[in-house]
Amino acid sequence: MNRDRSLPAKAAITAVGSYVPEDILSNQDLAQMVDTNDEWIRSRTGIVERRIARNPEHATGYMAIQAAQSLLQKKNIDPTTIDVVLVATITPDYTVSPTAPYVATEIGAGGALAFDLQAACSGFLYGLSTASAMIASGLHQRVLLIGADKMSSIVDYSDRSTCIIFGDGAAAVLVEPSDNQWGYEGGVFGNNGIGSQLLNVPHGGSRQPFNADSYAAGQHYIQQEGRTVFKYAVNHMASSSLALLDRYNLTADQINYVLPHQANKRIIDATREAIGVEEEKVLTNIAHYGNTTAATIPLLLSDFEQQFSPGDRLILTAFGGGFTWGAAYITWNY
């Protein structure tokens, strides 16, 4: 590819891959575990089933490897040509060792720069911004970005408010310099540290180290204040998306697709209404996967890849713990 080296490269997603576990946890299954039923879950979340990695050996790293290998095989890429492996996750295999070096080594990219990024459900979008900046710098040519989370490892299956929401999965994208005018156009991001108290796993970090008492109290499981999180999510997913439209002088009807974080169908619907796009333009797969945290948006890209055409305008938007949030505007490359 020939380009003016004095200008920053436009980064583009050039390939996608994904992996979800075979085991399905349906709403009917959950009804045998907690006081709930299929209609109650569907009406409040839009979820019908979710995938669960029941095999203890199939941790986040395993799923990330499967997603990466599916991408590499589909595009016939030599893994030694990968410059960077970036894993967005809140459920790393270990608390000290990052998951990305393990993934990189297992897929044959041991010479790559490899690190994890933790921004909860916004992790993939933060990672896409990071990967795009790496490409634009001219220092890297191929960044493998993976969103992966084994949420079942931090979910209390006796807590109805959380166990109905989350599932396990992973998806990967390859970010390279664009060979045309399309690619990553820009993003709008934000944060509010109040979220550290409203959506978290209370114990296990340096503030509240894990111990026997915290285990007995279930403080090693994810907890959230659902109503507050809902309001923040809708407000910031919508406002960041609208800010992108304003920045690039776009109207809602000029957007081909919106790919929202798959947290809750009610959040998705409220965000769509605030942005002002037609329902058929908003892509969802929450019914079958639930909330896979950092994997939701790349899973959408993988599931709907064949539906996209070069030049399609896509808005990606997410909100996650921390709080973190953001939206990205991309023009589809292939």
Angle separating helix axes 265-275 and 38-45, nearest 10 degrees = 20
Q: Give me the tens of pLDDT residue by residue for the chain, a chain 334 residues long.
A: 344 445 578 999 999 999 999 999 999 999 999 999 999 999 999 999 999 999 999 999 999 999 999 999 999 999 999 999 999 999 999 999 999 999 999 999 999 999 999 999 999 999 999 999 999 999 999 999 999 999 999 999 999 999 999 999 999 999 999 999 999 999 999 999 999 999 988 888 888 888 888 878 888 899 999 899 999 999 999 999 999 999 999 999 999 999 999 999 999 999 999 999 999 999 999 999 999 999 999 999 999 999 999 999 999 999 999 999 999 999 999 9
Cβ pair 71, 144 in contact under 8 A? yes
- Please report where in the chains the tokens 């634009």 appear, as a residue: 136
Q: Where in the sequence numbering do the catalytic residues fall? A: 121, 261, 291
Nearest to 225 by CA among 321, 123, 124, 122: 321
| Dist CA 234 CA 260 (whole Å) | 11
Q: Is 65 helix (H, G, I), strand (E, B) or coil?
A: helix
Tokens 């697709």 sit at which residue? 257
pLDDT single digits (tens) 225-255: 989 999 999 999 999 999 999 999 999 999 9
In this structure, how many other beta carbons lie within 10 angstroms of the beta carbon of residue 5?
8
95-101-102-108 Cα dihedral, nearest 10 degrees? 170
Domains present along the chain, CATH in parentheses: 11-177 (3.40.47.10), 184-331 (3.40.47.10)
CB-facing half-sphere around the CA of 12: CA atoms within 13 A: 19
C-alpha dihedral (57, 62, 63, 65), degrees to nearest 10: -160
Residue 6 three-state SS: coil
Dist. CA 243–CA 315, nearest whole Å: 11
| Rounded distance between C-alpha atoms, residue 146 and residue 101, angstroms | 12
Tens digit of pLDDT for each residue in 86-100?
A: 999 999 999 999 999
